[in-house]
């Protein structure tokens, strides 16, 4: 079996996909304030920058930059996921357990990718912001309330109509049809 290796770069910028165990769940958006507070608590304890983010019902994408000399993104994700799960349990939400007794809220791992340069960074910001449209949750990027897109618009980094309106698109774009 091949051992998975993570690329730990102190002070690096990383793209993450973090997914719930139940891919049909909506708990991330249904409990958005708990998730936001989990991020706030973790950032206060172990600082990091959220360069871009999109929270979808059952997964999220984040571009995260760590402080100089710090490469521990795994510890931050462990804290965010643990804090979120703990608050939900204390609130009385029922979370199933795996055979070994561990909570079955989150998938065990996360997907991470090291950002190499400015162009790579920009492509991942675009991917993150367009993801709710890609998943059919909205037809315009601006309509999804759980992303950093509106901050990018406020800061003048992207126009409000960035990404257009997919209801106006016609044609095939390489996606498989069933």
* Catalytically annotated residue among 4, 127, 146, 152: 146
Task: Using the structure block, give the residue that is written with the tokens 């162009």.
Answer: 119
**Known active-site residue 146:** yes
Cα dihedral 61, 66, 70, 75 in deg (nearest 10):
-30
CA distance 169 to 85: 40
Alpha helices in 14-144 (DSSP H): 27-30, 32-45, 73-90, 118-134
Buried (b) or exposed (e) across 39-64, using 16+ Cβ within 10 A? beebbeebebeebbbbbbbbbbbbbb
Contact 169/133 with Cβ under 8 angstroms? no
Contact 78/109 with Cβ under 8 angstroms? no
Among candidates 74, 36, 37, 40, which has minimal Cα distance to 55? 36
Tell me the catalytic residues: 146
């Amino acid at each position: 079996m091949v051992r998975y290796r993570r690329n730990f770069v102190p002070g690096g910028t990383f793209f993450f996909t973090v997914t719930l165990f139940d891919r049909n769940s909506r708990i991330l958006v249904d409990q958005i304030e708990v998730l936001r507070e989990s991020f706030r608590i973790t950032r206060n304890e172990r600082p990091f920058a959220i360069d871009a983010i999109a929270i979808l019902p059952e997964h999220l994408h984040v571009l995260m930059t760590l402080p100089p000399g710090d490469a521990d993104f795994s510890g931050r994700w462990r804290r965010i996921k643990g804090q979120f799960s703990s608050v939900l349990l204390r609130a009385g939400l029922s979370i199933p357990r795996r055979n070994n007794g561990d909570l079955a809220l989150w998938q065990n791992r996360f997907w991470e990718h090291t950002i190499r340069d400015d162009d790579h960074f920009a492509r991942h910001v675009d991917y993150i912001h367009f993801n709710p449209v890609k998943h059919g949750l909205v037809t315009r990027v601006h309509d999804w309330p759980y992303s950093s897109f509106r901050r990018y618009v406020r800061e003048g980094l992207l126009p409000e109509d960035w990404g257009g309106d997919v209801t106006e698109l016609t044609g095939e774009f390489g996606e498989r049809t069933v």
